[in-house]
Amino acid sequence: MKSDMEELMPRLLPLESCDTEEYNSNEPPRNPQEYLRQVQREASLCPDVVVAQIDPKKLKKKQSVNVSITGCLAAPQGFSPSLKWQQQQVSKFSEVRQSVNKHRQHWKSQFLDDNVVMPKTEDEDGWKRFCLGENVCLDIQLKEEDKVNPGLDYVKTGFPPFLSIVSKLNQSTISAVLEYLINWFEERDFVPQLGRWLYALLACLEKPLLPEAHSLIRQLARRCSAVRANLESKDDDRLSALNLMICIVARYFEQNDLADNE
Protein backbone atom coordinates (compact mmCIF):
# COMPACT_ATOMS: atom_id res chain seq x y z
CA MET A 1 0.00 0.00 0.00
CA LYS A 2 2.82 2.37 0.85
CA SER A 3 4.56 1.78 -2.47
CA ASP A 4 1.30 2.43 -4.31
CA MET A 5 0.86 5.74 -2.49
CA GLU A 6 4.42 6.72 -3.32
CA GLU A 7 3.71 6.14 -7.00
CA LEU A 8 0.51 8.25 -6.88
CA MET A 9 2.02 11.12 -4.88
CA PRO A 10 5.03 12.77 -6.52
CA ARG A 11 7.99 13.62 -4.36
CA LEU A 12 8.21 17.35 -3.92
CA LEU A 13 11.71 17.18 -2.44
CA PRO A 14 13.56 14.29 -4.16
CA LEU A 15 16.80 13.22 -2.51
CA GLU A 16 19.95 12.23 -4.31
CA SER A 17 21.35 8.81 -3.58
CA CYS A 18 24.04 8.80 -0.94
CA ASP A 19 26.31 6.52 0.95
CA THR A 20 24.41 5.41 4.05
CA GLU A 21 27.65 4.77 5.88
CA GLU A 22 28.48 8.47 5.80
CA TYR A 23 25.18 9.38 7.45
CA ASN A 24 24.65 8.71 11.15
CA SER A 25 20.96 9.05 12.06
CA ASN A 26 21.83 9.35 15.74
CA GLU A 27 23.57 12.66 15.19
CA PRO A 28 21.91 16.03 14.41
CA PRO A 29 21.60 16.76 10.65
CA ARG A 30 24.51 18.73 9.23
CA ASN A 31 22.80 19.94 6.06
CA PRO A 32 19.35 20.04 4.39
CA GLN A 33 19.86 16.68 2.67
CA GLU A 34 20.57 14.94 5.97
CA TYR A 35 17.56 16.64 7.58
CA LEU A 36 15.22 15.42 4.83
CA ARG A 37 16.79 11.97 5.02
CA GLN A 38 16.07 11.90 8.76
CA VAL A 39 12.45 12.98 8.20
CA GLN A 40 11.96 10.19 5.66
CA ARG A 41 13.44 7.63 8.03
CA GLU A 42 11.16 8.72 10.92
CA ALA A 43 8.12 8.68 8.63
CA SER A 44 8.93 5.14 7.47
CA LEU A 45 8.87 3.96 11.07
CA CYS A 46 5.34 5.30 11.67
CA PRO A 47 2.49 2.78 11.21
CA ASP A 48 -0.05 3.43 8.46
CA VAL A 49 -2.98 3.03 10.85
CA VAL A 50 -3.06 4.04 14.52
CA VAL A 51 -5.81 2.87 16.88
CA ALA A 52 -6.43 4.91 20.01
CA GLN A 53 -6.61 2.97 23.25
CA ILE A 54 -9.68 4.29 25.11
CA ASP A 55 -10.40 3.35 28.68
CA PRO A 56 -14.23 3.08 28.97
CA LYS A 57 -13.98 3.57 32.73
CA LYS A 58 -12.76 7.14 32.22
CA LEU A 59 -15.75 8.10 30.10
CA LYS A 60 -18.67 9.78 31.80
CA LYS A 61 -21.68 7.53 32.15
CA LYS A 62 -24.06 10.35 31.29
CA GLN A 63 -22.99 12.79 28.63
CA SER A 64 -25.41 15.56 27.70
CA VAL A 65 -25.42 17.03 24.23
CA ASN A 66 -27.10 20.38 23.59
CA VAL A 67 -28.81 20.45 20.21
CA SER A 68 -30.32 23.77 19.18
CA ILE A 69 -33.38 24.03 16.98
CA THR A 70 -32.35 25.37 13.59
CA GLY A 71 -35.40 27.46 12.85
CA CYS A 72 -37.81 29.80 14.61
CA LEU A 73 -41.15 28.78 15.98
CA ALA A 74 -43.97 29.83 13.71
CA ALA A 75 -45.89 32.89 14.86
CA PRO A 76 -49.47 32.37 16.05
CA GLN A 77 -52.16 33.38 13.60
CA GLY A 78 -52.15 37.17 13.21
CA PHE A 79 -48.93 37.70 15.20
CA SER A 80 -46.58 37.69 12.23
CA PRO A 81 -45.63 41.06 10.65
CA SER A 82 -46.24 41.83 7.00
CA LEU A 83 -43.43 41.72 4.46
CA LYS A 84 -43.84 45.46 3.88
CA TRP A 85 -43.37 46.15 7.60
CA GLN A 86 -40.25 44.00 7.66
CA GLN A 87 -38.79 45.83 4.66
CA GLN A 88 -39.44 49.17 6.35
CA GLN A 89 -37.69 48.05 9.53
CA VAL A 90 -34.66 46.79 7.61
CA SER A 91 -34.42 50.13 5.83
CA LYS A 92 -34.60 52.07 9.12
CA PHE A 93 -32.08 49.76 10.74
CA SER A 94 -29.67 50.26 7.84
CA GLU A 95 -29.95 54.04 8.25
CA VAL A 96 -29.24 53.72 11.99
CA ARG A 97 -26.10 51.66 11.28
CA GLN A 98 -24.87 54.25 8.79
CA SER A 99 -25.46 57.03 11.31
CA VAL A 100 -23.60 55.11 14.04
CA ASN A 101 -20.61 54.55 11.76
CA LYS A 102 -20.62 58.20 10.70
CA HIS A 103 -20.57 59.59 14.24
CA ARG A 104 -18.65 56.82 16.00
CA GLN A 105 -15.26 58.56 16.03
CA HIS A 106 -16.74 61.81 17.37
CA TRP A 107 -18.56 60.15 20.26
CA LYS A 108 -15.69 57.79 20.97
CA SER A 109 -13.50 60.76 21.86
CA GLN A 110 -16.06 62.29 24.23
CA PHE A 111 -15.73 61.88 27.98
CA LEU A 112 -18.47 60.06 29.86
CA ASP A 113 -20.18 61.46 32.94
CA ASP A 114 -18.64 60.51 36.26
CA ASN A 115 -21.56 58.25 37.12
CA VAL A 116 -21.04 56.11 33.99
CA VAL A 117 -18.60 53.37 34.97
CA MET A 118 -18.44 50.74 32.24
CA PRO A 119 -17.65 47.19 33.41
CA LYS A 120 -14.71 45.21 32.11
CA THR A 121 -15.39 42.99 29.11
CA GLU A 122 -15.27 39.76 31.11
CA ASP A 123 -17.60 41.04 33.89
CA GLU A 124 -20.85 39.34 32.89
CA ASP A 125 -22.85 40.28 35.99
CA GLY A 126 -21.55 43.83 35.79
CA TRP A 127 -22.76 44.24 32.22
CA LYS A 128 -26.18 42.78 33.00
CA ARG A 129 -26.65 45.32 35.78
CA PHE A 130 -25.21 48.12 33.68
CA CYS A 131 -27.60 47.48 30.78
CA LEU A 132 -30.73 46.24 32.55
CA GLY A 133 -30.44 47.84 35.99
CA GLU A 134 -30.56 46.35 39.45
CA ASN A 135 -34.36 46.40 39.57
CA VAL A 136 -34.57 43.91 36.71
CA CYS A 137 -31.51 41.83 37.57
CA LEU A 138 -32.47 41.47 41.22
CA ASP A 139 -36.23 41.13 40.60
CA ILE A 140 -37.01 44.18 42.73
CA GLN A 141 -40.74 44.86 42.69
CA LEU A 142 -41.43 48.55 42.16
CA LYS A 143 -44.09 50.45 44.04
CA GLU A 144 -46.89 52.07 42.05
CA GLU A 145 -45.51 55.57 42.59
CA ASP A 146 -42.10 54.41 41.36
CA LYS A 147 -43.65 53.00 38.18
CA VAL A 148 -45.33 56.33 37.44
CA ASN A 149 -42.21 58.39 38.18
CA PRO A 150 -39.18 56.10 38.01
CA GLY A 151 -36.64 58.94 37.98
CA LEU A 152 -33.17 58.79 36.44
CA ASP A 153 -31.35 56.44 38.77
CA TYR A 154 -29.51 54.51 36.05
CA VAL A 155 -28.00 52.11 38.57
CA LYS A 156 -31.51 50.86 39.31
CA THR A 157 -33.08 51.25 35.86
CA GLY A 158 -30.03 50.53 33.68
CA PHE A 159 -28.01 52.85 31.48
CA PRO A 160 -29.53 53.47 28.05
CA PRO A 161 -27.30 52.56 25.09
CA PHE A 162 -26.23 56.15 24.44
CA LEU A 163 -24.05 56.63 21.37
CA SER A 164 -21.33 57.98 23.67
CA ILE A 165 -21.32 54.59 25.40
CA VAL A 166 -21.66 52.08 22.55
CA SER A 167 -19.11 53.98 20.43
CA LYS A 168 -16.46 53.06 22.96
CA LEU A 169 -17.12 49.32 22.61
CA ASN A 170 -14.88 47.31 20.30
CA GLN A 171 -16.21 44.30 18.40
CA SER A 172 -14.97 41.85 21.02
CA THR A 173 -16.84 43.66 23.79
CA ILE A 174 -19.95 44.04 21.63
CA SER A 175 -20.05 40.27 21.04
CA ALA A 176 -19.43 39.58 24.73
CA VAL A 177 -22.22 41.89 25.96
CA LEU A 178 -24.54 40.52 23.30
CA GLU A 179 -23.84 37.02 24.58
CA TYR A 180 -24.42 38.05 28.22
CA LEU A 181 -27.79 39.61 27.44
CA ILE A 182 -28.97 36.77 25.21
CA ASN A 183 -28.03 34.23 27.87
CA TRP A 184 -29.99 36.28 30.41
CA PHE A 185 -32.94 36.38 28.01
CA GLU A 186 -32.89 32.59 27.63
CA GLU A 187 -34.13 32.27 31.21
CA ARG A 188 -36.02 35.53 31.68
CA ASP A 189 -38.77 37.56 30.08
CA PHE A 190 -38.38 40.33 27.51
CA VAL A 191 -38.08 43.81 29.03
CA PRO A 192 -37.75 47.24 27.34
CA GLN A 193 -34.17 47.75 28.57
CA LEU A 194 -33.16 44.49 26.91
CA GLY A 195 -34.76 45.48 23.62
CA ARG A 196 -32.99 48.83 23.51
CA TRP A 197 -29.58 47.29 24.15
CA LEU A 198 -30.04 44.41 21.71
CA TYR A 199 -31.01 46.86 18.97
CA ALA A 200 -28.02 49.10 19.71
CA LEU A 201 -25.54 46.22 19.82
CA LEU A 202 -26.84 44.79 16.56
CA ALA A 203 -26.49 48.24 15.03
CA CYS A 204 -22.81 48.24 16.02
CA LEU A 205 -22.11 44.67 14.93
CA GLU A 206 -19.81 44.67 11.91
CA LYS A 207 -20.35 42.54 8.83
CA PRO A 208 -19.31 39.96 7.76
CA LEU A 209 -20.22 38.28 11.01
CA LEU A 210 -17.76 36.17 12.93
CA PRO A 211 -18.96 32.59 13.62
CA GLU A 212 -19.60 33.43 17.29
CA ALA A 213 -21.77 36.42 16.41
CA HIS A 214 -23.56 34.42 13.73
CA SER A 215 -24.55 31.80 16.30
CA LEU A 216 -25.58 34.42 18.86
CA ILE A 217 -28.01 36.32 16.65
CA ARG A 218 -29.65 33.08 15.53
CA GLN A 219 -30.04 32.14 19.19
CA LEU A 220 -31.65 35.53 19.79
CA ALA A 221 -34.17 35.11 16.96
CA ARG A 222 -35.14 31.63 18.14
CA ARG A 223 -35.65 32.86 21.70
CA CYS A 224 -37.79 35.77 20.49
CA SER A 225 -39.96 33.38 18.48
CA ALA A 226 -40.41 31.15 21.54
CA VAL A 227 -41.55 34.07 23.70
CA ARG A 228 -43.83 35.30 20.91
CA ALA A 229 -45.44 31.87 20.58
CA ASN A 230 -46.62 32.12 24.20
CA LEU A 231 -48.16 35.59 23.94
CA GLU A 232 -51.89 35.60 24.59
CA SER A 233 -52.82 38.80 22.79
CA LYS A 234 -51.76 40.74 19.70
CA ASP A 235 -52.00 43.87 21.87
CA ASP A 236 -49.09 42.69 24.04
CA ASP A 237 -46.45 45.43 24.24
CA ARG A 238 -43.68 42.89 23.64
CA LEU A 239 -44.96 41.68 20.25
CA SER A 240 -43.62 44.53 18.12
CA ALA A 241 -40.18 44.37 19.74
CA LEU A 242 -39.97 40.59 19.36
CA ASN A 243 -40.97 40.81 15.70
CA LEU A 244 -38.36 43.52 15.19
CA MET A 245 -35.54 41.39 16.61
CA ILE A 246 -36.50 38.43 14.41
CA CYS A 247 -36.81 40.72 11.40
CA ILE A 248 -33.34 42.26 11.84
CA VAL A 249 -31.64 38.91 12.32
CA ALA A 250 -33.44 37.23 9.45
CA ARG A 251 -33.76 40.02 6.90
CA TYR A 252 -30.81 42.34 7.52
CA PHE A 253 -28.24 39.74 8.58
CA GLU A 254 -29.57 37.37 5.91
CA GLN A 255 -30.59 34.46 8.11
CA ASN A 256 -33.44 33.86 5.72
CA ASP A 257 -34.49 30.50 7.14
CA LEU A 258 -35.55 32.34 10.32
CA ALA A 259 -37.68 34.95 8.56
CA ASP A 260 -41.40 35.43 9.07
CA ASN A 261 -43.41 34.80 5.92
CA GLU A 262 -46.82 36.21 5.18
pLDDT band at 28 (very low <50, low <70, confident <90, very high): confident
8 A C-beta contact, residue 228 and residue 79:
yes
Give me the pLDDT at residue 237, please: 95
What is the number of structural domains in the chain? Answer: 1
Q: Is 11 inside any structural domain?
A: no
In a domain, 136, yes or no: yes
Q: What is the arithmetic mean of pLDDT over 137-150? A: 65
- What pLDDT was estimated at residue 67? 43
Task: Give 149 or 211, the one with higher predicted confidence.
Answer: 211
- The answer as to whether 63 is a domain residue is no
Mean pLDDT over all residues of the chain?
85
Looking at the domain assignment, is residue 206 inside a domain?
yes
Q: What pLDDT, in 10s, does the model give residues 59-89? A: 655 555 444 456 899 999 999 999 999 999 9
pLDDT for 134? 93
Q: What is the pLDDT of residues 106-142, one digit of tens each?
A: 888 888 888 899 999 999 999 999 999 999 998 877 6
State yes or no: pLDDT of 25 exceeds 50. Answer: yes
Q: Is residue 198 very low, low, confident or very high in pLDDT (cuts 50, 70, 90)?
A: very high
**Cβ–Cβ < 8 Å for 257, 70:** yes
Domain-embedded: residue 44: no
3-state SS string over 133-200? CHHHHCCCCCCHHHHHCCCCCHHHHCCCCCHHHHCCCCHHHHHHHHHHHHHHHHHCCCCHHHHHHHHH
Is there a domain that residue 92 lies in? Answer: yes
| Number of Cα atoms under 13 Å in the Cβ half of residue 163 | 14
251/229 Cα distance (integer angstroms): 20
Q: What confidence score (pLDDT) does residue 218 get?
A: 96
**Is 141 within the bounds of a domain?**
yes
Domain that holds residue 187: 83-258
- The domain that contains 236 carries what CATH number? 1.20.58.1070
Task: Let me know if residue 113 belongs to a domain.
Answer: yes
